[in-house]
Amino acid sequence: ETGVTQTPRHLVMGMTNKKSLKCEQHLGHNAMYWYKQSAKKPLELMFVYNFKEQTENNSVPSRFSPECPNSSHLFLHLHTLQPEDSALYLCASSFEGTSGGVAQYFGPGTRLLVL
């Protein structure tokens, strides 16, 4: 299924680099999310965007900067990262209406390695 796409799929960057991760959803959803998946740790929510407005920042360091220009696109801008930021970064989307229990649909992720 390719309802949620992410680019690049793999990224290697130095600690002084600036890079951006891109996510696009083709499902007509109105909410988008960034999650971080590290080895040996549960998936961690990073950011939530609802109708392009950021509604949650889960105590994420400022070296991660999200951007949501419209309900179909989500970016994660990276700068001066640390080696411990190496992880799989997953984007997800959902359609939020007037009832709960809505499933989130995930992209394939970007595997990030910080040297």
The least CB distance from residue 73 to another protein, in Å, is 16
Site string for another protein, 41-80 (x = CB under 8 A): xxx-x--xxxx---xx-x----------------------
Does 87 contact another protein by CB under 8 A? no
Contact 55, 47 (CB under 8 A): no
CA distance 18 to 26: 27
Does 38 contact another protein by CB under 8 A? no
Nearest residue to 89 via CA among 2, 8, 3 = 8
Does 12 contact another protein by CB under 8 A? no
Does 13 contact another protein by CB under 8 A? no
Residue 90 or 114: the one with the smaller Cβ distance to another protein is: 90
Interface region with another protein, contact rule CB under 8 A, candidates 12-20, 59-67, 72-80, 96-104: 96-104
| E strand spans, 27-95 | 31-37, 44-50, 53-57, 64-70, 73-79, 87-94
**Residue whose pair of structure tokens reads 């600690």 in the numeric block:** 15
